[in-house]
Structure formats: C-alpha cells, structure tokens
Amino acid sequence: MLDRLVARAAQLPAYGELRWHANHSSRIMMRKGVLLANGRSRDSGVSARLYRNGAFGFAAAPADDEASLSAVIATAKDNAEFAGGHAASGALSTAAGSGSYDYRSTRAPLSAEQRVDIVRRLDEAIRARYPGLVNVDISLSSHASEKILANSDGAATYSFVPRAALVVSMSVTANDGIVELYDILGGFGEIEDQSFDEATLAPWLEDLHENLRRKAEGGQCEAGDHDVVLDSALAGILAHEAIGHTCEADLVLAGSVAGDHLGELVASEKITLGDYGGRGPDGKSSFAIHVDDEGTPCRDVAIIENGVLKNFLHNKRTAQMLGAEPAGNARAFSFQDEPLVRMRNTCIAKGNDKLSDMIGAIERGYYLKRSTNGQADATSEFMFGVNCGYEIRDGKLGRAIRDTTISGVAFDMLKSVTHVGDDFHWSAGGGWCGKKQVIAVGMGGPSIKCRVTLGGRG
Amino acid sequence: MSAPTDDFLDQILARAKAAGATAAQALSSRTRYFEIEFDHRSVDLVRSTENETTMITVFRDGKRGGATLNGRRPEEVEAAIAAAATAAEAGVADPANDIAAAPSLPPGDHGPSEPDRAAMRAQVDEFLASLPSRHPLLRLRDSLYTFTDHETEFANSNGLRQRERRGGHGFRAMFMAKDGALTTSFNAAGGRSFTPFASLYDAAGVGRLMAECERSLERRPVTGKFVGDVIVTPHCLTGLLPSIAGALSGPALLAGSSPFKDKRGERIASPLFSLDNAPRSADFVDGSDFDEFGVPTRDLPIIEDGVLKDFLIGYFFSRKLGLPQTAGVRNSRVRPGETSLADMIAGVKRGILFSRFSGGAPNDNLDFSGIAKNSFYIEDGEVRHASSETMVSGNFQQLLQDIHAVSKEVVNFGDCVYPFIAASGVTISSK
C-alpha cells in the first residue's frame, strides 16, 4: 500500500497528501455484573488532500482499491478548485518524514474469553471486597491508529500506535446522595502489554475505595480563589488545557491572547513546558508520533522555557502564515478527517520541590488529586473538573472534598506557581482531546503549588 | 458507493447463524457528507466524504457480542461476523439479551438527498462579505456549512426490517471578538435543518450570539459570592440537559445511582417545566424512525408540568428492568412558556444570563460547578456587563424545582429544541 500511495502522491497535480488510515478499537463494559458492551470495531479508508492557492480540497472513501484512490484524488482536486483559494500563498514546508513505527504488541493476543474474564473477575472481586457499593462500572478498552501516508514532497511513512485502558468506577450512598469516584489504569500498548494482574490491581482498588470512602464523608469546596497543590496526576491536563490549546497556531491566528505574548514572561521562571514527538522526553508517554499527517517529521517544541513564551504549535499552513517551521503537529483522527493543529505529548518539566513541602506551605487551601474533563479558551481562561481532593489546613491534609471545577487565567495562574515538584506523572490511560475531531494525546507533569479559583457551594 | 440492500444485511444474518448465532441483528448506516469550512477571511477547506458502517450483533444462548466494520470488503465482513460470534460466546448470559419483535415500518424518507453546492457556496460568500460590516470585531475559525445524507437500514433474524433516509443542512460557527489587546472567549453555535438556512445568521440563534460576543470585550468578574438567579439560554441547555436525561435513562436506573429512580409520578420540577422525547418530530432533521434494535420510536412526554411521567428506557433496559420501553433514541424538546426573555431579565434581582457552561461533568447526584462562559451579569432587572472568571455551582435536582419562568422564545438545533429557563438558588462566585 505504501508503494502505491508513494507512486500516486508523486503524480498529484499540486501539493497534497494521500493517507490510508484504520482505527481499531475494542470495548468491554460491565455494570453491576451486567455486560453492557462486548465488541470491537474497525474503520478504514483512503483520503486525499490537495492544496491550491491557500485552501485545501479533501475527499475520503471507505475502500483502498485503485479505483477508489483515483476517485478520492479527483474529488479532492474538484473540492480544492471549488474552495477557490485566492491567496498568493507561496509554497508550504517541504520537510518529508519517513520510516516505519510499528508498536503492535509482540505478545500473544488475549482471546475474547480472556478479555471478558479480566472484567468479570474484577467485578466479582470488587463486589466481594467492598459489599456496600451502590454501583460498580468496569470498562476495558483499546484503541490503535494505523496509518500509511505519502505526500507529494516525498514523505512516506507507516505507523501503528496502540493504547489500552482499564477504568473502574465505584459509587456509594452518602448522607446527601450518591457519591462516585473512578480511576484509570493502563496507557501505551495493547491490552496484552498492560499489567492488569492481581498484584497490580489490589492496591490500586484499595486506594480508589479509600478515596471514595473519604469523599463520601467529605464536603463541598469553599468557592473562590485558593492556594492549591495540584498533584502530578493533574499536571498533564493543566499543561494541555491551560497552555497547550492557547498556543495552537490556528487559535493564535483566530485571536488567542498567546499571540500577544510571544517572547514575554508569561509564567514563573520555574515553569518549562513543551510538546514532544516520539513518546515524550522520557520515552514513557501513553502516545507516540514520529511523522505527522502532513508528512512532517516530528520535532520537540519548547512552548514555555523558564517562564518565557517561546513557540506555537503549527501545521504547514499556519507555519507559512506566521513565518515558522512546522514541527509535526498536524494530525487527523480517522480516514475521513483532515489534519488539524493538535498537541502530541504535552508536559511541564519537573522541578526540585517535594510534594510534602508544598502541602506544608499552605495554611488554608486544597490538595487536588485527580481530574476529569477540561476546556480551554482564547483568553487563556481554562477549567477542568476535579473528582478527588482534600482540604489543607495548617499545612496538613484534612477532610475530602466533593466534585468541583477549578479555573484560572493561565498566564496569571502560572505566575502564581511557587513550587514545582520533583515527581512526574503521565496521565494514566492517555488523554483524548476534542477539537472538531477527537484525538489521542499524551499529557504529563509534576506536582505544582499555585493559586486557582474553585467552584463549590461551601 | 452502492446503497445498502436487504441482501447485504440478510447475508450477514445468514452467516452469523452459520457461525453459531441463536439470533442476530445488523444495523447499516451509509453517509455522504459535504462541508465548506471557513474562517472570517475566506474558505479554507472543502471536504466530501463517504462512509458505510455496519454494526453486527450476535446472540448466543442469552449472551451477546458485537463487531462494527465499514465498507464491504468481503474479508472484513467475514472477520467482523467471526469476531461478533466469538465475543458472544465469551459473553455473560442475561435473559434480557435478545433481538426485538416489532412491526416493520414503510421506508422513511426525510429531507433532500443532494446538496445544492453552488447555493451553499453563495451563502457562505454572502455571509463572509457581510460579516465585516455587521460584526467588524468578530473572528471566526472552523466554521462549517454542511450537508449530510444519511441512510440507515436494520435487519434481524426475526424478520424485522427497517429503513430510513435523512438529508439535511448544518451550520456551525465558532467565533470570538478581538479589539487590540481585548479578547473575548470563544463561543460556538449551530444547528441543522432539512432546508438550506434562509440566512446563516438565522441558524440556531447564531446572529444573537455574535452580537453578544462583540458586547463582551469589556468583561469583569461578578463581585464576591452570592446565591442568585440564572437565566439558562437554549444554547447552555444543550450542554446541561444531557446530564438530566442521563439520570432518567435505563443505564442510570440499572446502576441505582439516579436521584430520580423512585420518582415516577412525582413532581421533580417546577410545574412550568415540561420535557418531551420527540424522535418522530418533523422539527428534527436528526430524529429517527427506529432505534438500534429496530423498534419504532415514538414521541412521549417525560416530564409534564413538573411531574415525572416516564423514564428514557431503550429496548435492552426495558427487558432488564421489567419496565415498558419508552425510548431508544433521544430528541429532547422543552416546551415553551409564556414569558418573554425581556420580562425574564426584568424579573432578576441579581444573577446572570447563563450562556455556556464550561465545567466538570456533573456527578450522579447532579451537583455541578463550572465557569459561566459568554455570560452577562444582571442586576435589578438590567443586563449590566459581560462576566469573566465567574463560577456557577448548584444541583440540577434543585434547579429543576427552582424554575420560575420559561420563555416563549425557543431555538431549534435540529436534534432538540429549547427555550430560555429562569431559576433561582444558584451559587455565583468569582475569585
């Protein structure tokens, strides 16, 4: 297939990419012992994208034969003409990535019975060990993105990037209603590559249940501005939502405030934040990328260096418009999707401070342990949900708190950072980011002490 | 790409039976999609895609397994049938697992089957030409004018067959305003319609939101923390109502985590609030004639004058919970009230016009907290200023009870229709 795409890409009438792309996924989901999902899915097809006078034409079809490939190229050409670009836009970057990056598991695949058995045994064990639970949800899922890409500048690459996650959610009845908590285990690789054995799961479940028990006994946050310690498990979503999105060049072109601050001090000098190719700076992220979906080889991007805003994230078009070099941030979710400016492995670099010192430095505030969903904005105002945390009173952890949301203006909040931890954590199970398309991302960082706004009725 | 045929699904069912299925069903969806994407300067992408997805479910002695594929490559169809059969064999037996017996409907045909691309392009060009004079400070990104033709076919081994086609236009604008160093939050809105929009500004209230966006450049937080009123806009409801509908659904009842689980027949909301599930409504381009088990859908009141009339229960959960099937597809319609938006604002002592919720997913107890984005502070019946860094916290169970006005004005999004709703008792705070 790669040879076919390379040959056809060389004959394209303008700059363009041809991509064969398959998403493979599976999901087993059990609620209170009832199997609600038990299956797999696969979607695949070919796409063509052609560039003409500052605009793109794109077409895709769920097939990979020569006739379908010819048809999508012809339709993409028609669409590019229909787009009617008129900009004297010049040439796009011609850096051409290559190579085969195959991360499929070398272990024997688990059978359908073995996969269902992981979930069934776990459900039985949880309900036996913690009899007071109102509900138990267990989800075992996998996703792999397989791509073959060639472009008219000579890029030619293959990749297979898998990851898998086990999610357990427990609910109990508190004096004011149902309280729930979930946690995620897993990350890079296929289900066969993960450690879902008893020795790994037992302490993990014990920790989840203990946090749930304390959360049920806890109370609402006090709404307002507070000193907080963000656990390293939250640092990834902070890097992603607060800074990463604001520094995507398509958002900068749309008017993101980051565009007004390039080269300026936007954070404490303790903050260094980057977006990385491969599997991140330590090679342990839940996501891998070496060549992006425009065929650009991936380079690391320093977004903030010692507090100074240094770079934005680009595709070929935004790089051309802003006079930068793309570093491999153009990514598409499925064969039907065009590449967009996306993050890859985004993280804050670890520092030298101890978590215990950060907690000890707060007289009245919160220690926030786990996040849920998040959102960014052009103003750099960010938010993310927190489903596990504790009060800090006089430098010590107090009662647990119920679900809350934290927010802040990133370029203000990052200046309030006084401590950056010597720990580091990639988000378990990997993250998903929504921006026209969903896409897999890696995100990580250390514990951080800073000041944010919390929602709550306390 | 050829249209789905009865033969294709029949062949799948026959092969599933040969692979050991005691029963089987298949749901095929063929989609043709056309999109013009633009920012405030120009069109930057024209995209057209085709896809055909088939979801195969195999039942084997009370166990269930599934596989989904796209296209019709013979080796992949065979692999999907084998995977579904293997998954079913590995599954957990449950008496609720079975295919449906229901009447086969005449094929449904809704909306146009082809876009008028030239007319769509002309509308986009007209929109972009008028934008600088109508909204000189607005910047757009990833804004889309689309046409989707979607054909769905269902078959099961009981002989149930369903088929429908739906075609419609969609418009979605994502925008912000910028004036020198002043920048607003992003906002986004859009809707779907069988017919092309008369004006893209009229699609799902986009024009109103664009005007509000330009008035949001000078923003400030509300002062301190107080318990006040919210006027929840239709656009904000699109983000909030799924949490409430989720709490009324079969999965939440099975979990035992729904705060409404024992409340059928009881008042769970203000008498001013009525919610219908209306998948057959001619108002909704994204409605559906039948569900994923092939069961014909029907329109039903869910909450009527504040009283919970029924849950949203699909085919499987109906069998599992021993309750009548009342849903399978969700298209929410909150009935309009008798108050104008202007009168609702005039009645607020202190609160906000709550236009978008950006917050953590509400928990099982329906507690919520998040930022009030694109929102405005109201005091003594007047909109005072756009808000920034303003958090709202509360509980949806209580908010439903505390509704004191529902607007005459509604916005149809193509899959749901909502009015403005005024409620009290929400904690509003800033830093």
- Mean pLDDT score of chain B: 94
Establish if B411 belongs to a structural domain.
yes
CA angle in degrees (0–180, nearest 5) for B197-B198-B203? 45
CB-CB neighbors (< 8 A) of B50 in chain A: 60-62
% of chain B surpassing 70 pLDDT: 99
Q: Which residues in chain A have Cβ-Cβ distances shorter than 8 Å to B358?
A: 375, 377, 383, 407
Quote the mean pLDDT of chain A. Answer: 94
| β-pair type (A224-230, A273-276) | unpaired
Nearest Cβ partner of B69 from A42, A383, A404? A42
CB contact under 8 A, A34 and B254: yes
Tell me the CB-side half-sphere exposure of residue A371, using CA atoms within 13 A. Answer: 30
| Structure tokens that stand for A143 in this block | 């996703």
Overall number of domains in chain B:
2
Do residues B108 and B20 share a domain? yes
SS3 (DSSP) at B97: coil
Does the pLDDT value for residue A429 go beyond 70? yes
Give the pLDDT mean for A92-102: 92
Q: Which amino acid is it at B394?
A: G
Mind listing the pLDDT tens digit for each residue in B203-244? 999 999 999 999 999 998 898 889 999 999 999 999 999 999
| Strand-pair category, A98-102 with A55-61 | unpaired
Chain B residues with CB-CB distance to A23 below 8 A:
none
Task: Please check the confidence at residue B1 and state whether its pLDDT lies above 50.
Answer: no
Residues of B in contact with A82 (CB under 8 A): 46, 117, 121
Best residue in A23, A30, A32, A36 for a mutation probing chain B (most B CBs within 10 Å): A36
Task: Tell me, yes or no, whether B233 and B207 share the same domain.
Answer: no
For B308-355, what is each residue's pLDDT tens digit? 999 999 999 999 999 999 988 889 999 999 999 999 999 999 999 999
End-to-end Cα, chain A, rounded Å: 60
B92 lies in a domain? yes
HEC secondary structure over chain A: CHHHHHHHHCCCCCCEEEEEEEEEEEEEEEECCEEEEEEEEEEEEEEEEEEECCEEEEEEECCCCHHHHHHHHHHHHHHHHHHCCCCCCCCCCCCCCEEEEECCCCCCCCCHHHHHHHHHHHHHHHHHHCCCCCEEEEEEEEEEEEEEEEECCCCEEEEEEEEEEEEEEEEEEECCEEEEEEEEEEEECCHHHCCCCHHHHHHHHHHHHHHHHHHHHCECCCCEEEEEEECHHHHHHHHHHHHHHHHEHHHHHHCCHHHHCCCCECCCCCCCEEEECECCCCCCCCCCECECCCCCECCCEEEEECCEECCCECCHHHHHHHCCCCCCCEECCCCCCCCEECCCEEEECCCCECHHHHHHCCCEEEEEEEEEEEECCCCCEEEEEEEEEEEEECCEEEEEECCEEEEEEHHHHHHHCCEEECCCEECCCCEEEEECEEEEEEEEECCEEEEEEECCCC
Q: Is the pLDDT of residue B4 over 70?
A: no
Q: At what angle do helices B74-90 and A112-129 cross, to 10 degrees?
A: 30
State how far the Cα of B70 lies from the Cα of B111, in Å rounded to an integer. 25
- Asked if residue B41 lies in contact with residue B171, where contact means CB atoms within 8 angstroms, the answer is no
What is the nearest CA distance from A282 to chain B, expressed in angstroms? 30
pLDDT per residue as tens digits for the range A247-258 = 999 999 988 889
Residue B311, token pair as written in the block: 């849950």
Return the half-sphere exposure (C-beta side, CA atoms, 13 A cut-off) of residue B398: 15
- Tell me: do B148 and B46 sit in the same domain: yes
Look at residue B224 in the predicted model and tell me its pLDDT. Answer: 85
Which ranges in chain A are annotated with CATH 3.30.2290.10?
Answer: 2-217
Residue B398's domain spans which residues?
218-431
pLDDT of residue B3: 46
Q: Assess whether B225 and B259 both reside in one domain.
A: yes
**Same-domain status, B193 and B260:** no
CATH of the domain at B20: 3.30.2290.10
Of the candidates B150, B184, B214, which is a domain's last residue? B214
For residue A295, give the nearest of A92, A441, A154 by alpha carbon: A154
Report pLDDT digits (tens) over A199-246: 999 999 999 999 999 999 999 888 889 999 999 998 888 899 889 999
pLDDT reported for residue B363 = 87
State which residue of chain A sits closest to B50, comparing Cα positions: A61
Q: Are residues B152 and B182 in the same domain?
A: yes
B146 interfacial to chain A (CB closer than 8 Å): no
Q: The tokens 């907290």 sit on which residue?
A: B369
Q: Are B51 and B68 in contact, with CB atoms under 8 Å apart?
A: no
Three-state secondary-structure class, residue B154: strand
Residues B103 and B223 in one domain: no
ipTM summary value: 0.94
Structure tokens belonging to residue A447: 């514990």
In total, the C-beta contacts within 8 angstroms joining chain A to chain B are: 268
pLDDT at residue A359, as a whole number: 97
Q: What is the pLDDT of residues A162-173, one digit of tens each?
A: 999 999 999 999
Asked if residue B32 belongs to a domain, the reply is: yes
Share of residues in chain A with pLDDT > 70 (%): 99
Q: At what angle do helices A198-217 and A112-129 cross, to 10 degrees?
A: 40
For chain B positions 3-62, those within 8 Å of chain A (CB to CB) are 33, 36, 39, 42-53, 57
For residue range B48-70, list pLDDT tens digits in order.
999 999 999 999 999 999 999 99
Which of B185, B214, B243 is where one domain is finished?
B214
**B363 neighbourhood in chain A, CB within 8 Å:** 178-180, 387, 402-403
Long-range CB pairs of B74-79, under 8 A, 24+ apart, other chains included: B76/A42, B77/B12, B77/B15, B78/B15
Instruction: Name which of B88, B142, B257 is nearest A171 (Cβ-Cβ).
Output: B257
The pLDDT score that the predictor gives to residue B5 is 53
> Distance from CA of residue B427 to its chain's centroid?
27
pLDDT of amino acid B6 = 62
Closest CA to A160 of A222, A101, A92, A210: A101
CB-CB under 8 Å, B361 with A34:
no
> Is there a single domain that holds both residue B279 and residue B319?
yes
Q: Residue B178: pLDDT above 60?
A: yes
Q: Check CB contact under 8 Å for A62 and B1.
A: yes
Last residue of a domain, one of B176, B191, B214: B214
Query: Quick one: how far is CA B26 from the chain centroid?
Result: 24
B100 falls within a domain: yes
Q: Among B254, B318, B311, B86, which residue's Cα sits nearest to residue A33?
A: B254
Q: Which residues of A288-312 are buried (b: 16+ CB within 10 A; e: fewer)?
A: bbbbbbbbbbbebbbbbbebbbbbb
CATH topology classification for A2-217: PmbA/TldD fold (3.30.2290)
Is residue B35 predicted with pLDDT exceeding 60?
Answer: yes
Q: Are residues B252 and B352 in the same domain?
A: yes
pLDDT at A103: 98
- Residue B1 in any domain: the answer is no
B175 and B234 assigned to the same domain: no
CA distance A230 to A232: 6
pLDDT of residue A450: 96
- B281 shares its domain with B231: yes
Tell me what pLDDT residue A70 has.
Answer: 97
- B103 shares its domain with B188: yes
Whether the predicted pLDDT of A456 surpasses 90? no
B394 CB neighbours in chain A (<8 A) are 457
What does each C-alpha distance from A148 to A17, A160, A339, B31, B429 come to in angstroms?
A: 11, 9, 14, 24, 50
CA separation for the pair B370, A188 (Å, rounded): 31
pLDDT range class, residue A87, cuts 50, 70, 90: low
